[in-house]
Structure 1
């Protein structure tokens, strides 16, 4: 399996864990766990592949991704009660999954010959859509929309790093590593250190 395939599989597994943990917070049955885990794990990649017009969506071409996501869901169904803070686990696992998913999205778009604007967008789509779908389905406020979480900002920064390092001759592995480290670093900073992006604040109209 290629580097992109391995990273995609890792992103699917970790995103599936977050989906199943969110399902546990919503007290769903085991089928609900599998559904939410698969939606979370494969939502971003599915949107990416459809937008880019790939010959087959990644999990259709290789159903092993579905098996990995389903296995993660079943694992969490029987072990979620052992985790002291499931929301904390979701947040940190989601940060890891986003850091892995961004370089995958960029690499897939690059492999199809698209230019840098598409690479940036596909990195963000791959990383953000699954978590957004997870939170909406489980009636949670989406992490990607919370002002206190540098989510889409981290994904964009990582995608930019990937494009710049690759353009500088860094190669596929180094650019993916730089992307993942920067993405996770920004997300971790927002979680642990309270880093925030400027937000809009309404002002009264001038007379």
Structure 2
């Protein structure tokens, strides 16, 4: 069931090659979203680079630390660091035009969420962790970069208050593991899980699907 570890630099099977390309697109898009968040907080160039890096690679880093997976993925592929920092800095130049690409960013972000979730599942499964840990690994990889971005930018994380996001990651992980348990070929499993997760996320955006919210005001007076 293992899809890949830290993306080795040699020809990959079809499912891994596709996810590898999506992964590169996703970390670039996430780095740009991090840079925009930093810009809204009037951060300097160093701050922009840090937030871009954390947004794009933070989820995988936290996953590797929790699972005890060393060395951490991006340390073995430093080109990823260069990609995300370059994307973050480039965003400072093209920021006035980014609002025209809002829909594209939403699609890329959805692709990244699903791809990161599948990667996280694969990593934990390859280390023979129990199913619940595999699912948590997928979700951590999928959503923690955005959480770190929002926390560092002093905002309530988007994942906790808007359309279905973490729920999509959870659904993707469960679907992937379920199909694997039924003996579905890994390439086909990856394709189905990716398509299903992407469809669910885009539908959630389009239809404004949300989880029930909890609102509580402390009234002691």
Q: Check if 1:78 corresponds to 2:93.
A: yes
Q: Check if 1:56 corresponds to 2:71.
A: yes
1:129: which partner in 2?
A: 144
Name the CA distance, whole Å, in 1 between partners of 2:192 and 2:41: 36
1:67: which partner in 2?
A: 82
Can you list the C-alpha shifts for 1:125-169, whole angstroms capped at 9, x where unaligned?
A: 0011100010111123311110x3211111100110110112222
Name the CA distance, whole Å, in 2 between partners of 1:68 and 1:43: 14
Contact 2:135 2:174 in 1 (8 A): yes
| Matched position secondary structure for 2:197 | helix
2:120: which partner in 1?
A: 105
> 5+ residue gaps in structure 2?
1-7, 217-221
TM-score by length of 1: 0.86
RMSD: 2.3
Name the CA distance, whole Å, in 2 between partners of 1:166 and 1:17: 34
TM-score by length of 2: 0.81
| Matched position secondary structure for 1:141 | coil
1:205: which partner in 2?
A: none
Contact 1:103 1:159 in 2 (8 A): yes
Name the CA distance, whole Å, in 1 between partners of 2:186 and 2:32: 27
1:47: which partner in 2?
A: 62
Moved more, 86-95 or 115-124: 86-95
Name the CA distance, whole Å, in 2 between partners of 1:131 and 1:189: 20
1:180 CA drift (Å):
2.4
Contact 2:26 2:108 in 1 (8 A): no
Residue of structure 2 aligned with 1:173, choices 179, 183, 187: 187
| Matched position secondary structure for 2:209 | coil
| Matched position secondary structure for 1:135 | helix
Contact 1:18 1:94 in 2 (8 A): no
Can you list the C-alpha shifts for 1:48-77, whole angstroms capped at 9, x where unaligned?
A: 111111121001122111111111112211
1:35: which partner in 2?
A: 50
Aligned length: 201
> 5+ residue gaps in structure 1?
203-207
Go from structure 1 to structure 2 and tell me whether the alpha carbon gap of 1:94 and 1:27 turns closer, same or farther (over 3 Å shift). Answer: farther
Contact 1:20 1:76 in 2 (8 A): yes
